[in-house]
Each structure stands twice: as C-alpha cells, then as structure tokens.
Structure 1
C-alpha cells in the first residue's frame, strides 16, 4: 500500500498532481492540503493538523463523506506535516509520497526534507515530489539506479554531517569512494552520461534530488 500526503504547500499544476495520485493511494491531507483534494474531486482518508488554513465548509463536507478529522492545537511541538507522516507510518505503508511540501516557506520546506529520515528510520521508502523536483534518500547498503535520458540532471547532497564511500557510475562526473561533507556542495548538477547511473554509499545519508527540465535556479 502507498500513502500520499498532500500538504498545503505550493502546487502550480493540478494536472500534474492528478497524474501522480493513484486510485488506490491512502490520502492524508495536511490542513489546507484538503483544498487541493477538493479541487481534484478526491475525498481524503484523513485530514490532520491545526486547521488554521482550511475552509471549514470543506472540512465539514469531508467529515460527512467519511474522512477522519484529527485536529491539533496551533501550539504544538510537531509540524502538521510531521503529524501527517506519523499518521502515515502508523498505517504500515510500503511507500510514502509527500506532495506540495516544497513551497514559499523555506523553513517548512527544509523541515519536510528532514522528515525523509524519519521514514527511513522506520524502514519505509519516502519521496518528496513537486512539479520541479523529486527528493529521496540514499542509505548504506542500497544501490540506487537512476534511469533516464543522457544529460538528465541529478544532485547529491549530504543530509548527515559526513557521507563516506560515495560511488557514482554512469554519470558525466563519476565518483569512487568519495566523501561528502556539509558545507561543500560539490555534488550539485551532475548528469547522466547515458541512460542509467548507479549510486551507493558506505556511511551516512545522502539526499538525491532529481530536477525536472522546468526547474530553474
């Protein structure tokens, strides 16, 4: 089972969003993310958060349609998206996708990226996706295969203080037994040399970011 967490961050392309969410996904909306579900004609399984950015009429309508409402105080230690991730993990999913999690609030965007580690520590694969980027983790013991077209961009950045034993093959700039440290972002904007690249590491956690052609600095 896959769980889709739909947050209230920026979504510019509703056609893209509709194409990502699958019919069998368990849908958890974070507060105002329920507005996106309403626009797509979807009924969330759960709506969670402090409800400070959701239309109350939508909330009542969704409750009447069977959505589980979990309302929290505005004064809380966790972010709404962290609460949604905990709810998702409690359901034992095989995979979690977090949508709308990258927006105009950089603090929230960065906090959401850090939530990938929470899912990893629970043994669940998680991705953050928007129209412009897909963000995942590379962990020790994994061999991550990137498929695409020659010239497709990808970036590697350390999530932990240090990442050792970084090996990248099939890229324009391959790496062998490299070390990445926070403060030296030399893994930005690598590219596929052909149609396939492989990435592995020995220690630490590495962010893998795959931008779309529309993404710009």
Structure 2
C-alpha cells in the first residue's frame, strides 16, 4: 500500500511545516498520535486513525479531537507501550511501502532513545521506517549495500546500534573506510560528507543507524 505518515506528539517546533509535508506525502495515509492528532487537525489534515492517552492536550483540545469523525483509540496513561509504539504496530500491519514518523524527536531524551529503538520493528517486518524532524533524518539498516545521494550542506553520520558492525566500507565520502570493524561506543563515523554524486555504504554484520543532518 501507499506510505504511512505518523505524526507523534513531540515538540511542534521540531516538526517541518505540515503544509510542506502534505505536498511531500500527497498519496500517504496519515495517523495521529496523542498531541500529534491536534497538530494535524489544526493544519487541515484529518488522520485515518488516531491513538494515544492524550495526556499532552487540554480538556478543551481533547473534546475538539473527539468531535472529529475518524477512528479514535484512547488508551490509559499507565500501559506497557508508548503511544507511538501502539501506532507503529498498527501501521506495520498494513504492510506499507514506507513509514515516515514526525514529532518523535526533541523534548525528553528517554522518549528519543525509545523511538530510535522502535526502528527495529521496521527491520523485522521489512518495512523502511524513517524518523524526521527539521534537522535530521534517521533510518536503521541491517547488512547490505546502500547508495546515498549527495546533498548540499548535509552531514552523514553512522552510529552502530549493535556491539559492532563488521566489514564496513564507505566510498564517495570525504572520509572513506575499507572493511572496517566499527565498535559501539566510538564516534569515528560522525559528521562525514559525500564528495561525489553518491556515496556507497556496505557492511556485512550488525545494525547501523544512518543519520542525515543539517543546520536549521
């Protein structure tokens, strides 16, 4: 099916303008999470579904959300999954081509690290899941070969999420590697740049967080 866009309830200042996102994801299915539902409705986007305990909205905002005609699933504040994990699990059941998540960065660091861990769910189901905000784009990758496009004023960082990443090779970058073993807890692959039209990244074992970052 088409892509799914999830709007989580993180700080609004970290989310790109919704009008821009509507143009970028014209054929996507939208899902709202907690205060992200309010963000979408404020900007003229009616989500296909909404999830959350809605503890981050006022009573007036909560009622306004409930008055809208779309499936709304309200969960208790005390539960074993975050609102975003609930929404992501439901989105993965649809087997979309891609899932894009906004509103999942900024604010509390425990939420950020938990949201990065959720990227493993996409790998398990073979569905690309991307976290995006105004300055960052994050994807988790397993072993393979990946081609990245050069972008002006964009840095590329690669963070090992497993204990090590084996046989890591990088070509077309300012700083290249040849079958290097990247150990978790090091910063070797932070703030690289593509100096050719494309950059190639290959590794044979482990999990690597691909990050594209730029100045706001």
Q: Do the two structures share a fold, i.e. TM-score over 0.5?
A: yes
Quote the residue 2:201 is aligned against: 199
Map Cα deviations across residues 84-103 of structure 1 (whole Å, 9 max, x no partner): 10011112211000101101
Distance 2:58 2:153 in 1: 44
Q: 1:37 to 1:151 in 2, by over 3 A?
A: closer
CA contact (8 A) 1:3 1:93 kept: yes
Quote the residue 2:76 is aligned against: 73
CA contact (8 A) 1:150 1:192 kept: no
Q: 1:200 to 1:134 in 2, by over 3 A?
A: same
Q: 1:45 to 1:199 in 2, by over 3 A?
A: same
Alignment RMSD? 1.8
Distance 1:44 1:58 in 2: 16
Distance 1:60 1:24 in 2: 29
Write out aligned runs for 1:34-183 (5 A). Answer: 34-141=37-144, 143-149=145-151, 152-183=154-185
Higher mean C-alpha displacement, 124-133 vs 36-45: 36-45
Distance 1:119 1:47 in 2: 20
Q: 1:45 to 1:61 in 2, by over 3 A?
A: farther
* SS at structure 1 position matched to 2:13: coil
Q: For residue 121 of structure 1, report the CA deviation from its aligned partner.
A: 0.6
Distance 2:47 2:63 in 1: 12
Is residue 20 from structure 1 mapped to residue 36 from structure 2 by the alignment?
Answer: no
Map Cα deviations across residues 180-217 of structure 1 (whole Å, 9 max, x no partner): 12111211011111221011110111001100232xxx
Q: 1:67 to 1:55 in 2, by over 3 A?
A: farther
Please report the TM-score for the alignment, with normalisation by the length of structure 1: 0.91
Map Cα deviations across residues 125-148 of structure 1 (whole Å, 9 max, x no partner): 11000010000122113x221112
Quote the residue 2:211 is aligned against: 209
Higher mean C-alpha displacement, 52-61 vs 122-131: 52-61
Distance 1:19 1:61 in 2: 24
Q: Which runs of 5 or more structure 1 residues have no equivalent in the other structure?
A: none
Map Cα deviations across residues 135-194 of structure 1 (whole Å, 9 max, x no partner): 0122113x2211124663110000111111111110000111111121112110111112
Q: 1:213 to 1:15 in 2, by over 3 A?
A: closer
Quote the residue 1:9 is aligned against: 10
